[in-house]
Amino acid sequence: MTGVEIDSRRVSPGDLFVALGGGVSFLEDARGRGAAATLVPNDEFAAMAAIGSAVRARSSARVVAITGSVGKTSTKDILAALLRPHVRLVAAEAGFNNEIGLPLTLARIEPDTEVVVTEMGMRGAGEIRALAEIARPDVAVITAIAPVHLELLGSVENVARAKAELLEVLPPGGIAIVPADAPALDPFIPPGLDVRRFAAPDVELRDGHAHVRYAGREIEFSFAARHQTWNAVVALTVCEALGVPLPDGIVEVSFSRWRSQESELPGGGLLINDAWNANPVAMRAALQYLVERAAGRRTIAILGEMAELGENAAAYHDEIGRLLRDLGVGHVFAVGLMAKPYTSHVGAATWFPNAEDRDSILASVREELEPGDVVLVKGSRSVGLEVVADALAGVTAR
């Protein structure tokens, strides 16, 4: 077998096609594209786990597993950019971080692969451990602990406990890379690990790039988002743990879709598409970046509600509303029933309780948009604001 695919359109000659869900309807398409074999599993997750585990077991590559409340995919993207010039690398695509995505990443391992960078997401307890037992990482990274998934987990302490499941799977002497200031996480770090801690970055933004001080050197990254420099320090710490040289020139990073993607708007404006997901920590960072990036230009924030925040959801949304006021955001478009507090503390705001009414949202934004505006789009996956962001990329400002 040359590879494993679950989308028949991606099948190349020699691949194994695993028909998940409605994939059974595309068996003939996969065979027509050259699939060497097709599999219709009785238990989809168990089948993918078995495939991923089998490939991992016969590889000597070092596996890095990244989890955390925020920044998983962006850290993976930055780390891949740092590692690629030095090692034969496999890195997770986009946000491939669940029971399907992780095995697909492992299935891409070749005999000469030296490092595999995986990503692990979760919604509840036990899920990280299950993924980690498939990947068997040598290096485990926890980017941050924050108030996410509270509907299921109930508290930040339980979030930390669930994320720390990754550390429990490390072998004795395995490397754990964790925040220097994470009091909720510290009680759950197992003994016997090589624990490396990272702190807030020393960073300067100039000429549209981030210059990060690390290990006595200044390292230049191609992005200008201050909050991404935290992820850069995490990635640099991983490089140091792996013994990979630090870069000499500019580190060119291509972020995964809908994460800190910037595009020009007609009339000199700018669109920041960060629509992949949202939580209080990530929302705060994105809004601060919006204002910093605007550099005095008028700002528009199109913000979806933040899901899975539990009983304190209203308070978290109100906190973001106060931040919008304090930052002086020019106009706020709040999308979703829980997003109403975004509008409570600002003068210019529009609320759309129905997240499905994307045509009306887009029409209202078009009416408000002026030449030179800097626009941020961000919200939880359930809101689907990437549709609005993608449409805005072709908007003609009035």
Q: Examine the domain organization and report whether 231 and 280 are in the same domain.
A: no
Q: Examine the domain organization and report whether 173 and 118 are in the same domain.
A: yes
Q: Examine the domain organization and report whether 165 and 277 are in the same domain.
A: no
Last residue of a domain, one of 197, 215, 242: 242
Q: How many CB atoms lie within 10 A of CB 74?
A: 28
Q: Examine the domain organization and report whether 31 and 48 are in the same domain.
A: no
Last residue of a domain, one of 184, 207, 242: 242
Q: Examine the domain organization and report whether 309 and 237 are in the same domain.
A: no
Q: Examine the domain organization and report whether 231 and 118 are in the same domain.
A: yes
Parent domain of 205: 41-242
Helices (H), the chain: 27-32, 44-57, 72-83, 101-106, 127-135, 150-153, 156-163, 165-168, 228-242, 280-294, 313-327, 358-368, 386-392
Burial class (CB in 10 A: 0-12, 13-18, 19+), 396: exposed
Looking at the domain assignment, is residue 255 inside a domain? no
The pair of structure tokens assigned to 46 is 């168990």
Q: Examine the domain organization and report whether 232 and 303 are in the same domain.
A: no
State the helix-helix crossing angle for 72-83 and 228-242, rounded to 10 degrees. 50
CATH number, domain of 13, equals 3.40.1390.10
Q: Based on the structure, what is the number of domains in the chain?
A: 3
CATH number, domain of 170, equals 3.40.1190.10
Looking at the domain assignment, is residue 227 inside a domain? yes
Looking at the domain assignment, is residue 280 inside a domain? yes
Per-residue pLDDT 10s for the chain (398 aa) are 679 999 999 999 999 999 999 999 999 999 999 999 999 999 999 999 999 999 999 999 999 999 999 999 999 999 999 999 999 999 999 879 999 999 999 999 999 999 999 999 998 899 999 999 999 999 999 999 988 888 778 899 999 999 999 999 999 999 999 999 999 999 999 999 999 999 999 999 998 899 999 999 999 999 988 999 999 999 999 999 999 999 999 999 999 888 888 999 988 999 999 998 889 999 999 999 999 999 999 999 999 999 989 889 999 999 999 999 999 999 999 999 999 999 999 989 999 999 888 899 999 999 999 999 999 999 998 899 999 998 997 643 43
CATH number, domain of 359, equals 3.90.190.20
> 396: helix, coil or strand?
coil
